[in-house]
Amino acid sequence: MREILGRRRKLRSRRTRGGAPAACPEPPHPTDRPDLTAVAVAAIHRHWPVVPGARPDPASPNGCGCPDPACALPGDHPADPGLLAATTDERMVRWWWNERPAAPVLLATGCGASAVSLPAVAAARALAVLDRAGIVTGPVLATRDRWALLVAPYSLPRLGELLYAKDHVPGSLRFHGEGGYLLLPPSAKGSGRVRWERPVEEAPGGPVLPEIGVVLDALVDALEETGVNASDL
């Protein structure tokens, strides 16, 4: 499951409250070159498989360093079409980044971690709701426009059950499961550098990640309250 967009189950219009949210300012870029090898090695020590990503290229018509002129995910896919097998093998990871020291670090979702992402303003509201309810969230990745909450891996049937139980799933909600990729900080993509909105809390068996069902209601409610839909992205 590369990336699944939230979709409407019932063909009916819904009135939304509020206007389109303003984009959150992008954090300043660090002045020194980040050690992406260390980022990749830290990820595999958390049992998160990684693979080198394609570098963004502002001079390219598609904004990506890959040869695909129609690339829709600049910096958000493996650097080499043949490098689809992400790994947690440290020797392989060190070799990859020795050959490509500036390559973004891509987390392959669906194994050690999955994710659900949504526009930044709605995500901030949802996190506040979860905090007030005493629900522990995991790490949160952030770009200027979108945040991604890392969650425990989920199966496609389980996700289908959760979505089927809802009357409406906003189109701006995206699910990153098996076959998907997410950039790890401080890697960069076409829309800017990725950062941790909520950092990883290390644990002996890897970071503790919530189940998707625990956070889904808050995310859907936040999107409807902020009036963010697919046409706003």
Long-range CB contacts (within 8 A, 24+) of 17-21:
17/224, 17/225, 17/226, 17/227, 18/225, 18/226, 18/227, 19/227, 20/227, 20/228, 20/232, 21/119, 21/120, 21/121, 21/122, 21/226, 21/228, 21/232
Residue 151, pLDDT score: 97
Task: Specify the range with the lowest mean pLDDT, choosing from 73-87, 161-175, 188-202, 216-230.
Answer: 73-87
Residue 225, pLDDT score: 83
Q: What is the mean pLDDT of residues 202-220?
A: 91
Count the domains in the chain: 1
pLDDT band at 25 (very low <50, low <70, confident <90, very high): very low
**Residue 113 resides in a domain:** yes
Higher model confidence: residue 58 or residue 94? 94
**Residue 90 resides in a domain:** yes
Tell if the pTM clears 0.85, that is, is over it. no
Give the rounded percent of residues in the chain with a pLDDT score beyond 70: 79
**Residue 5 resides in a domain:** no
**Residue 171 resides in a domain:** yes
pLDDT band at 16 (very low <50, low <70, confident <90, very high): very low
Cross-strand pairs, 150: 115
* pLDDT tens-digit readout, 66-125: 777 777 777 677 877 655 689 999 999 999 999 989 889 999 999 999 999 999 999 999
Residue 190, pLDDT score: 64
Higher model confidence: residue 20 or residue 4? 4
Domain holding 194, by residue range, is 33-232
Give the rounded percent of residues in the chain with a pLDDT score beyond 90: 52
**Residue 208 resides in a domain:** yes
Task: Please check whether residue 189 is in contact with residue 76, taking contact to mean a CB–CB distance below 8 angstroms.
Answer: yes
Q: For all residues of the chain together, what is the average pLDDT?
A: 82
**Residue 222 resides in a domain:** yes
**Residue 22 resides in a domain:** no
**Residue 2 resides in a domain:** no
Residue 8, pLDDT score: 40
